[in-house]
Amino acid sequence: MRKLLPIILALVGTGAGVGAGLMLTPAEQEHADAVECLPPAEHAKAEPVKEEDLGPEEGMVFVKLNNQFVVPVVGPERVQSLVVLSLTIEARTGTTERVYALEPKLRDVFLQVMFDHANIGGFAGAFTSGPRMDVLRRALLEAARNVMGRDVANVLITEVARQDA
């Protein structure tokens, strides 16, 4: 009974957390997470902008992927922790619908990248250090470009958390 009680409490706590999360999520709005990054109206009126003057953020849109990614970190005998990440894709304006249409494929390749990252120890220790996060960001960008081509400018890690078991 002693060994069973912590397991039961963990399951009840997890179930309560998931239930609370589902109850407190805002109502879905179709593609409300897409935010266009365009120049301010006054600046656009003041002088015409040439194509070559556009910076990397001009004409780009941020598309937040709908669900978080949960990655198990497996130790020698069992799962040691879970890492939860939220991703946003920075893509060319006008490609929001394409991102959402390809979301299942993007999620698949992103999960594979994150599983590989976890298997090489990327989520162990100080997993949010600059070099470790840079390796993960580059791998995610490469995977996104394999699916969507050059329409993807960047993959942003907007949230990351690790829950040790």
Domains of the chain: total? 1
pLDDT digit string, tens, across residues 9-67: 676 677 667 666 666 665 554 444 555 554 444 444 434 434 344 344 568 999 999 99
Confidence of residue 76 (pLDDT cuts 50, 70, 90): confident
The verdict on residue 13 lying in a domain is: no
Nearest to 39 by CA among 31, 29, 30, 49: 49
The verdict on residue 98 lying in a domain is: yes
The verdict on residue 23 lying in a domain is: no
Nearest to 107 by CA among 64, 162, 138, 158: 64
The verdict on residue 127 lying in a domain is: yes
The verdict on residue 57 lying in a domain is: yes
The verdict on residue 117 lying in a domain is: yes
The verdict on residue 5 lying in a domain is: no
The residue segments making up the domain with residue 98 are 30-164
Is 142 within 8 Å of 117 (Cβ atoms)? no
pLDDT digit string, tens, across residues 90-132: 999 999 999 999 999 999 999 999 999 999 989 888 888 888 8
**Running DSSP on this structure, what letter comes out for residue 87?**
E
The verdict on residue 111 lying in a domain is: yes
CATH number at residue 90: 3.30.479
